[in-house]
Amino acid sequence: MSRIVLGVAGGIAAYKACELLRRLRADGHDVTVVPTESALEFVGAATWAALSGHPVSTSVWDQVHEVPHVRLGQEADVVVVAPATADLLARAASGRADDLLTNVLLTARCPTILAPAMHTEMWQHPATQSNVATLRSRGAVVVDPDSGRLTGADSGPGRLPEPAELAFVATTILGEPRLAATMAARDLAGLRVVVSGGGTREHLDPVRFVGNSSSGLMGWALARAAGLRGADVTLVAANVALAPPPGAQVESVTSTSDLEQAMNRAAKDADLVVMAAAPADFTPAESSATKIKKTSGADTLDLRLVQTADVLAGLVAARTDPGQVLVGFAAETPSEQADLVTLGRAKLARKGCDLLVLNAVGPGLVFGQPTSEITLITPDSEVGPIAGTKDTLAHHIWDAALALRSHR
């Protein structure tokens, strides 16, 4: 069981931290809430105590014999502050220790995640941006705020990301703590990243389609990870019913032809391109404009299918920037690991991409699952199999892609 300190600063978004707390507890983590005095103006101590199962304090003078201002930080596996107000960021950056939460931040030697939430003008102010840069330089993971409706009628960047997104960040770092330094370093900053996710649909008629089981979870994890590492992210989503990752520009598509056109447009100026979507390999030769009805006395329906465009090979052929790195995915059904790599190497040579991510698929494997196992291959190397959550694996994929780019 991981020990998490959930810090809550005094912003209207404090109510969202209740949902984050519930999610972390549901995942089996032990969570102690440390609010600021002003946070209790929004959500009372009784609520935090009831949801966490631990007493709640804001002061270093409570339960002094247990030295909470030192013990909580020393024993935590991760500290998450959500929301982190402009005031809290300023106090943390300057090393203040004037309440229990700032004391915890000074004593913690575990990864620290700060999720800012404030009005747009406050987030964009040079003082706040300077404080964020300082905290990141010290290894803190500062999650960029989302854009959307703020307090009152205001709208813009400064909105606290949804609790589900913050839970993904926390559990990813708990699973692989070294990723905190990777996120803090923002090693994809200044790079344009394009990711596709989901599965395309080829319509037989207005009701039915030929498709596949791709859920889009891997594409979403890749977009989320790239955003945390500072990239400018475009996500081409094929029939995915998931909330967009914070900061990603999302374009929705339906068919393989739609996916091909969207990826060709987005990839022109991209530094890193990942084709995680699963395009349907075949499309009906003819599509009915009306619903195909059952015919009395007929037990079969004959369909003629033709191959769709090879989106990944097309991206390779259209590439004009020698520094651009193209990553493909392969879902195979091998009998063993050696067969998987053999199939992958054949596909890598056929497609011409720089890096191929191999998945062995089957019942209960990969599609729709939060975890997976991948093998990464290039023309000269092979890494894996690597198992983990899709969010963790996404970072391994970006590590490999970035390493390839550094040698261009």
Query: Which residues are tagged catalytic?
Result: 212
Cβ neighbours, 10 Å, residue 19: 15
Query: What is the token pair recorded at 284?
Result: 């009906």
Strand 3-8 and strand 78-84: the pairing is: parallel
Residue 200 contacts residue 258 (beta carbons within 8 Å): yes
**CA neighbor of 315 nearest in space, from 357, 360, 369, 272:** 272
Contacting residues for 305 by C-beta, under 8 A, at least 6 apart: 210, 282, 283, 284, 285
Distance in angstroms (rounded) separating the CA atoms of residues 176 and 88: 27
Backbone angles phi, psi at 268, to 5 degrees: -55, -45
Residue 387 contacts residue 396 (beta carbons within 8 Å): no
Let me know if 190 is exposed, middle or buried by CB neighbors in 10 A (0-12, 13-18, 19+): exposed
Contacting residues for 178 by C-beta, under 8 A, at least 6 apart: none
